Amino acid sequence: MAEITLEDIIKPENLVYEKTRLMTDKELSYCPGCGHGTAHRITMEVIDELGLEENTIGVAPVGCSVLAYEFMNIDMTQAAHGRAPAVATGIKRVWPDKIVFTYQGDGDLAAIGTGETIHACNRGEKIVIIFINNGIYGMTGGQMAPTTLPGMKSSTSPYGRDVETMGNPLKITELVAQLPGTYFVTRQAVHTPAAVRKAKKAIRKAFENQRDNKPGVSFVEIVSNCNSGWKMTPIDANNWMVDNMFPFYPMGDIKVDGVMVK
Amino acid sequence: MGELKLMKGNEAMAEAAIRAGADAYFGYPITPQSEVIEYLMAEKPFERTGMVVLQAESEVAAINMVYGAGGSGKRVMTSSSSPGVSLKQEGLSYIAGSEIPCLYANVVRGGPGLGTIQPSQADYFQSVKGGGHGDYKQIVLAPASVQEMADFVKLGFDLAFKYRIAVLILSDGVIGQMMEKVELFDQVPRMTDAEIKEKYPWATTGKAKGTERRIITSLDLDSLKMEKHNHHLQAKYKLITENEVRFELIGCEDAEYVFVAYGSSARIAQKSMQLARKKGIKVGLLRLITLFPFPTKQIQTLCDQGIKGFLAVEMSAGQMVEDVQLSVNGRAKVAHYGRFGGIVHSPEEVELALEQILIGG
Amino acid sequence: MTEEIIIAGFGGQGVLSMGKILAYSGIMHDQEVSWMPSYGPEMRGGTANVTVILSDERISSPVLTVFDTAIILNQQSMDKFEKSVRPGGILIYDPNGITHHPSRKDINIYQIEGAQVAAEMGNTKIFNMVILGAYMKLKPIVQLEYVIKGLKKSLPERYHKLIPLNEDAINMGMKHIKPYYLMN
């Protein structure tokens, strides 16, 4: 039997996975097991597949994904903490034919930037908001976030979130779905191949909405993990997320084509 | 000759924004400058030139809309008054770091805090010493008439794009609220998208296939790179200091004393100068037009000329006077006079201060 | 030639618009002008005042504490501005509602029954034009021709039909102004 060489294997017909074209070669700064990398990848795949590379301007937040512009190989603007929806509004209003999206975490979008989020959604800005909710401030070292679950431990709620004194977690996605300015609101995850496929489909729909000039914000929440901040192994973190985060933040579409479905 | 109109300073600035070919105004109402957005909304520039006007949900959102739109190469402006401008400082620091060209106006009112809605010049430090965090400067233009409220919009946009910097029109309640005759310049067409892409290759306008992407950011976690970026910013500020100082000398040829003032205080001091000259006091006026860059060299020239003393006249407890002192560097007497907290000093008070604080003090 | 005027009264008396007409007429006359109002909460029903300067030269301070002419339309303004008239200057006031009449002996003082004249003419809104007429009688620096031009320039087209009424009011003001105290 003839020996099989690498050349025999590396052939287009054997290709099962390739590097996302619109991701840079820069090594991801995210912890192994974190969902950000996957969320980045499917976002850039969608932009590539829809042929929107030349027309898209992304807005990066402050938080773990502050360096999103290092990885996403398109024109990007880095915004001050929480201000991404205002920055995106500014760009979209003066370049109405461009595709503009923000990529934000929970602290950025649902705490310090709540005003910008609510008002961009309420004005019905024709932008995409991708919201990564892992219930914690990852970048600064695991502090309590607006979406931290009741009883959940963080470095600023070391005995667990006490809702009496620290307030309740904010379901901002359900909140923005109530606003007439949102057109598509959905909650997804990226912890299994099936979930990734569904999340990518949702992101594709969000970008298609903007491409087709649909009225209002397309808002995609991705419930994700933070194994470092939660102090768990990646697998444990995903299991904990399924058992604890998903019941509180249920998966699925909330508003589709401007109509509430949940 | 352009169109002659009787307008408030705030209205003239708004009209000038449309005529200067601005692409957008993002703002939030606050006295005494709400006329700017009111005028723009009534005037419907979106029909005249395609200019966008949007009332933001907050001062913070407004400056960040400016950040986004300016970073994509468009000519954008905002305006506010002191408490609102304090809120904008975060965005302005990011604008400085990311080198975003933009124009904004502060129609200053008395502070601190909510203060008063009456005129003041107590935001000088905030305007010329940074305001937000980090080592940065912005070009500060100080209009002293309704005409300059209009003209400085055009000048401001030009300087903003020449240097990729924020330009501040530092006005106050007097200049914003008063009406004067103004000759409006003709409509400048808005730049086309193609022109913007060609002229501003740094702007985020969408990355063409096979080209380098553009990133607008103020962040670099590598401190050596950040130091290099800071050196670049400082070199730019030095260039601006060398090239963009603007001022006006009135009656300084034979002067023994000089008022140093800007904006409404310069107008008042000019009257004080007339009053003093009637009494035989040889006093002139150095009217600052740019506050950054500061006319240090001009003040030194006046020292060479043998000026005995400078009276800094400003509606504050004494802010600009520090820059006058640094420029004079001990070569002549420097004193300050000003009412503040919303009180506008009278020409008579200023004249008396010249006699009692500078000459007699 | 420079004329520095303060007009002061209640909000709603047309103080600011009277100043604006003066300023406009100055522009029509090729003069430099400035119009500096009191602004803020005072505008809403309280006192309102405006400083108007007309000059053949570049105007220095738009903010003044001494005036060539004070036009005073309520008691609060009388209390505040009687002392602000330059010695030898002019004070014009409507005695309606005035309890403490001006007492200075180093200025010329005139009365105009503006409210009454306007009421007799059947339109209280032209009150400020009656006052303006009274002022113009004393200070020919502002000529009727330029005021009419200024009105045309400042009023929207749909109000131009009211210009003859305003002109009548100015003439009535010119007719009814009377000295209250004159220096020798």
Backbone angles phi, psi at C127, to 5 degrees: -45, -50
Does chain C touch chain B (at least 3 C-beta pairs within 8 Å)? yes
Q: B72 to chain A: which residues are within 8 Å by CB?
A: 57, 77, 90-91, 94-95
Helix (H, G, I), strand (E, B) or coil at C137: helix
Residue B102 CA to residue B205 CA, distance in Å, equals 16
Cβ count near C131 (within 10 Å): 31
Q: Are C20 and B179 within 8 A, CB to CB?
A: yes
pLDDT along chain B (361 residues), means of 10: 88 98 97 96 97 98 98 98 98 98 98 95 96 97 98 98 98 96 96 97 94 95 97 98 98 98 98 97 98 98 98 98 98 97 95 96 76
**Has this prediction a pTM greater than 0.90?**
yes
Task: Give the other-Cβ count within 10 Å of C100's Cβ.
Answer: 9
The per-residue b/e assignment along B254-293, b for 16 or more CB within 10 angstroms, e otherwise, is: ebebbbbbbbbbbbbbbbbbebbbeeebbbbbbbbbbbbb
Map out the domains of chain B with their CATH numbers: 3-193 (3.40.50.970), 247-359 (3.40.50.920)
Mutate to test the interface with B, among A91, A99, A126 (most CBs of B within 10 A): A91
Q: Name the band, by pLDDT with cuts 50, 70 and 90, for residue A123.
A: very high
Q: How close does chain B come to C61, measured CA to CA in Å?
A: 4
User: From chain B, which residues contact A within 8 Å (Cβ)?
Assistant: 23-24, 26, 52, 54, 56-58, 60-62, 64-72, 74, 76, 90-91, 94, 98, 193, 204-209, 213-219, 221
CA gap A249, A169 in Å, rounded = 10
Closest CA to A186 of A170, A207, A203: A203
Kindly report, residue by residue over A77-95, the tens digit of the pLDDT: 999 999 999 999 999 999 9
User: Do A and C make contact, counting contact as 3+ CB pairs within 8 angstroms?
Assistant: no
Cβ within 8 Å, pair A95-B74 = yes
pLDDT in tens, A33-75: 999 999 999 999 999 999 999 999 999 999 999 999 999 999 9
Q: What is the pLDDT of residue B270?
A: 98
Where do runs of H (alpha helix) occur along C5-156? 15-28, 75-81, 114-120, 127-138, 144-154
Contacts of A144 (CB under 8 A, 6+ apart): A136, A137, A154, A155, A156, A157, A161, A166
Amino acid C40: pLDDT: 65
Compare CB distances from B180 to C34, C60, C154 and report the shortest one's residue: C34
Our CA-based measurement puts residue B214 at a distance from the nearest CA of chain A, in whole angstroms, of 5
Per-domain residue ranges for chain A? Answer: 28-260
Task: Tell me which residues of chain C have a C-beta less than 8 Å from any C-beta of chain B.
Answer: 20, 23-24, 27, 32-37, 39-41, 59-66, 153-154
**Residues of B with CB below 8 A from C36's CB?**
174, 177-179
> Which class for C168: exposed (0-12), middle (13-18), buried (19 or more C-beta within 10 A)?
middle
Superfamily in which the A28-260 domain is placed by CATH: Thiamin diphosphate (ThDP)-binding fold, Pyr/PP domains (3.40.50.970)
Interchain CB contact of A73 with B (< 8 Å) = yes
Which CATH superfamily includes the segment(s) C2-181?
Answer: Pyruvate-ferredoxin oxidoreductase, PFOR, domain III (3.40.920.10)
Name the residue of chain C whose CA is nearest to B6's CA: C24
- Name residue, tokens 């003859």: C164
| pLDDT reading at A10 higher than 90 | no
